[in-house]
Amino acid sequence: MITGKNLIGYTESANGSKQYNTFDPVKNQENTAPYTEATAQEVDQAVTMAQQAFEAYRSMAGEKRAAFLRAIADQIMALGDTLVTTYCSETGLPAGRAQGERGRTVGQLRMFADLVENDAWRNPTIDTAIPDRQPMSKPDIRQLLIPIGPVAVFGASNFPLAYSTAGGDTASALAAGCPVVVKSHPMHAGTGELVGRAIAKAAKETGMPEGVFSNLNSSGIEVGQQLVQHPGIKAVGFTGSIRGGRALYDLAASRPEPIPVFAEMGSINPVIITENALAARGSEIATTYAGSITLGTGQFCTNPGLIIATEGPDLDGFIQELGQKTAAIQAQSMLHPNIHTAYSRNASEVMEEQATQLVAAYQGDLHANQARATVVTVSGADFLANKSLHREVFGPFSMVVRCADQPELLKVIGSLEGQLTGTIMAEEADYSSMGSLVETLQNRVGRIIFNGVPTGVEVCDAMTHGGPYPASSDSRFTAVGNQSIKRWVRPFSYQNFPEALLPDILNP
């Protein structure tokens, strides 16, 4: 069923000569199907078709776009076990995770279908005329959100379904009325191809203009660069590393016509534990966090990479217990040898810093591509003095910062770069005195979790998945939930329009 070809509109195309394979990290071997990298001509063709499709798609009724999104969800489910086995063979993740992520993916598609089925989401705003106002009459002005144009989507390595081909960026852009060109992630090109074909099938079936979706294979950086620089692309969605996201941001900003880039990038997701919480339930918190640190082999953007607390015997005990419990969890495979190599290197670099002390690391034998879960610790003063300790170590790794006192703890939080999340573990007795902690943390993050774990991003109206740079490239938007559609729309005003030419929603 997998052809390794690019999907350009409804055509499968493989004009290039460069091929690559995906990799099974559990078997530690390449998968057999080769994928053909898109050529410059194929990239241009996909964008040109997206531009043409935009002419019809931008003003298509919401019900029709909703039907398209639901058909995508159905077609993804219709892929059945083929999708699950392909997903697992390209990630080393278990079938349960694939199924869960598939559920989230089709759930998102259906959520956006519900959202755009009627035009209320387009924020219709009506200011009626006041002809006799002095000194000047007031005109009739009515405003609606409209789509900005074709969007380029770069999928994430760590979520082959929910943040990739038909993930949140694609679903929200298609819902908004923007055609999508996906740069397929090379680590899960097969999953991408299957899902891409499901989208094309759904598009055909529901009568969408050809070019509303294309999927381009790419193992290097050229396809992505060409996409971001193409005058036909009007916005970019990206999930991945700071380096990758920033490179695309810079490219987009340097265009003759700069375009918005929403890049969801790195985060170490600080967790603050109060003395009272450590005293009351340090052991329970250690168990919870050993699980959160190692969940999905630590390969979540909301992984808790930094735990901050003030010095004391309760903290010492907690650190030891957290280390032991984390090190005791059965090692698992990472997504790809490259990711595994980067993890080992980054973790080692942190441990080689004089200021850090190893607390515990997984001691069992490691199969190929399995990660050694690790907990280290550092003093607040040393953390403040050494910015290289603020970097994300992508994987099952966490650092506990021991602060001398509360002022130093606030200073540590204030020193952090922008984060997707912050977490506060506290007791009721703390609430009355924690205003400045909440304020300081709020100013650095997009979401604060109280007495929970940052891993797990609920798809709902009130979710903010984003935050000050570098958590995301534009903190004014969220990448998850209904409101992520706002990334791809702009307000437009109709002034003194005759009723006959106004959209229904502005003509109540």
Q: In this chain, which stretch among 108-116, 331-339, 351-359, 438-446 interacts with its own copies, using CB under 8 A?
A: 438-446
C-alpha span between 158 and 178 (Å, rounded): 25
469 interacts with its own copies by CB under 8 A: yes
CA-based nearest residue to 474, from 248, 217, 165: 248
CA 311 to chain centre: 34
CA-based nearest residue to 233, from 145, 146, 148: 148
* Residue numbers 94-133 binding its own copies by CB under 8 A: 100, 125-127
C-alpha span between 259 and 46 (Å, rounded): 18
C-alpha span between 151 and 10 (Å, rounded): 18
Tokens of 304: 């808790």
498 interacts with its own copies by CB under 8 A: yes
Q: Name the maximum alpha-carbon separation found in the chain.
A: 83
* Residue numbers 135-164 binding its own copies by CB under 8 A: 135-136, 138-139, 141-143, 146, 148-149
Q: Give the residue, chosen from 57, 68, 383, 477, that forms a contact with its own copies under the rule CB under 8 A.
A: 477
By C-beta, is 4 or 149 nearer to its own copies? 149
Q: In this chain, which stretch among 177-185, 344-352, 378-386, 433-441 interacts with its own copies, using CB under 8 A?
A: 433-441
Told to judge if 460 belongs to the known catalytic residues of this protein, a careful annotator would answer no
438 interacts with its own copies by CB under 8 A: yes
* Residue numbers 348-387 binding its own copies by CB under 8 A: none
SS3 content of the chain, % helix, strand, coil (to 5): 45, 20, 35
* Residue numbers 385-424 binding its own copies by CB under 8 A: 417-418
Q: Give the residue, chosen from 23, 470, 479, 485, that forms a contact with its own copies under the rule CB under 8 A.
A: 470
Q: What are phi and psi of 21, to 5 degrees?
A: -120, 160
Q: Give the residue, chosen from 367, 492, 504, 507, that forms a contact with its own copies under the rule CB under 8 A.
A: 492
- CB–CB of 88/94 below 8 Å? yes
Q: Is the dihedral of CA 439, 443, 444, 450 positive or negative?
A: positive
By C-beta, is 152 or 319 nearer to its own copies? 152
By C-beta, is 317 or 468 nearer to its own copies? 468
Alpha helices (runs of H) in 125-220, residue ranges in sequence order: 168-176, 189-205
C-alpha span between 180 and 103 (Å, rounded): 22
Q: Give the residue, chosen from 309, 327, 446, 455, that forms a contact with its own copies under the rule CB under 8 A.
A: 446
Q: Of the listed 88, 178, 301, 403, which one is catalytic? A: 301
Q: Which residues contact 46 (CB under 8 A, 6 or more apart)?
A: 6, 8, 9, 38, 181, 211, 214, 216
Q: How far is the CB of 423 from its own copies (least distance, A)?
A: 9
Q: In this chain, which stretch among 299-307, 317-325, 402-410, 442-450 interacts with its own copies, using CB under 8 A?
A: 442-450
Q: In this chain, which stretch among 55-63, 81-89, 113-121, 221-229 interacts with its own copies, using CB under 8 A?
A: 55-63
* Residue numbers 302-331 binding its own copies by CB under 8 A: none
By C-beta, is 125 or 348 nearer to its own copies? 125
* Residue numbers 244-263 binding its own copies by CB under 8 A: 249-250, 253-254, 257-260
C-alpha triplet 420, 458, 347: angle, nearest 5°: 40
Told to judge if 301 belongs to the known catalytic residues of this protein, a careful annotator would answer yes
From residue 206, how far is each of 15, 63, 64, 174 by CA, in Å? 29, 11, 8, 13
460 interacts with its own copies by CB under 8 A: yes
Tokens of 346: 């980054």
By C-beta, is 124 or 317 nearer to its own copies? 124
Active centre residues (catalytic): 264, 301
